[in-house]
Amino acid sequence: MRQCPAHADSAPSLHVTVADDGRVLVHCFAGCTVEEVLAALHCSWKHLHDRPWLTPQIHHATWGRSAWPTFPALDARAGAHPAARGMRLVSVHRYGDGRWLLERWRSPGGAKDLRWTTRRGRTYLPGMFGVPTSALPLYREREVRMAVGAGEPVIVVESESSVDAICRAGTYATTWAGGAASPNLDRLVAVLRGADVVLVPDHDEPGLACARRVWAALRPVTRSLVGVTPEPGQDARDLLAARGVAGLLGGAR
């Protein structure tokens, strides 16, 4: 598996293999045709099917540097890597016991960037390899399932950073992969059925809209459901800082 030279390939998606009869077989899983891959490499079909009569070095010397295949940087599709843009890695959130990592990068100017990586064998590669965020478990789902089993209240918030802050303060919390735009209602319902839940949205328009959807989904299945809304423009972490865990839990205990 290699990066495909015919499209901006941030994950290796070009499969190259040699058939029993000696022919080279090329397949881009992103959908490039063989002709497109060959064109990007300055090659033709005969290069795949005929025994080469010159070495790559002679090919290079003949065609010059202009003909040497160049590959896009690993992160071509998503723009330069955040580290190359002067951003700093501020936190790494593990989903599914570390099968997926969500990296949170921030620039000195305050800009944010979120990047997913996926464990493949003993290494992590950029991207999700076609897995939608809706297929991921909830954040810290294993702890949350234990909390629900033990009858402990669970705080549902909008960001992994808020979850981590609340967990450090000694209470169970969770969120879903994908943010306010796409709450994972099916997973929330499955994991939080029968639980005592406190919903703490970000107090902005997308946060409140998201909270209404989560509320409607959880209301029929939870043992108790309480909404605690931070001050306008604030989120669960601000509320935690101002009022502590007791302020977050509201009437749940």
List interacting residues with Zn ion (CB under 5 A): 4, 6-7, 28, 30, 32
236 and 200 in contact (C-beta within 8 Å)?
A: yes
By beta-carbon proximity to Zn ion, the closer residue of 10 and 222 is: 10
Smaller CB distance to Zn ion: residue 38 or 197? 38
Closest approach, Cβ 39 to Zn ion, in A, equals: 11
Shortest separation between residue 6's beta carbon and Zn ion, angstroms: 4
| 116 within 8 A of 127, measured Cβ to Cβ | yes
C-beta closer to Zn ion: residue 5 or 96:
5
Q: Rounded distance, CA 174 to CA 165, Å?
A: 11
Nearest distance from C-beta of residue 233 to Zn ion, angstroms: 44
Closest separation between CB of residue 3 and Zn ion, Å? 9
| Two tokens, residue 66 | 């202009």
Please give the helix or strand (H or E) that residue 181 lies within, else none. Answer: none
96-116 burial code (b ≥16 CB/10 A, e <16): beeebbbbbbeeeeeeebebb
Q: Closest CB to Zn ion among 28 and 155?
A: 28
Contact 142, 167 (CB under 8 A): no
